Amino acid sequence: ETAKVTQLYTFRNLQRTPVPEVSAGSIVAVAGIENVGIGDTLADPADPRPLPPIMVEEPTVRMTFSVNDSPFAG
């Protein structure tokens, strides 16, 4: 699929900062392309080889919240 990136952003604190280019491994926001997901490869049409997909594991921490109705609650 061919598309054109219209803007790249990096993050500094809570601000998005427009940048002219990024390198592999950078965490960025991409404007101008629909249906881009985590782990997708954006490549030059001259060398469109994708990187292997990243497998994201299920969460390993679970929390349960409830009302403390113990006689010692206070």
Best CA proximity match to 21, nearest among 35, 34, 38, 7: 7
**Which pLDDT does position 72 carry in this prediction?**
86
For 18-42, how does the pLDDT look when each residue is reduced to its tens digit (9 = 90+)?
999 998 888 888 899 888 887 788 8
The secondary structure of 9-55 as a DSSP string is EEEETTEEEEES---TT---EEES-SS--TT-----TTS-PPPPPPP
For 36-65, how does the pLDDT look when each residue is reduced to its tens digit (9 = 90+)?
887 788 888 898 888 887 787 888 888 899
Q: Is residue 66 part of a domain?
A: no
Report the length, in residues, of the chain.
74
Q: Which domain covers residue 5, as residue numbers?
A: 1-55
Contact of 49 with 42, CB cutoff 8 Å: no
Q: Is residue 35 part of a domain?
A: yes
Q: Is residue 14 part of a domain?
A: yes
Q: Is residue 46 part of a domain?
A: yes
Q: Is residue 70 part of a domain?
A: no
What's the pTM?
A: 0.55
Q: Number of structural domains, the chain?
A: 1
Place of tokens 């349960």: 64
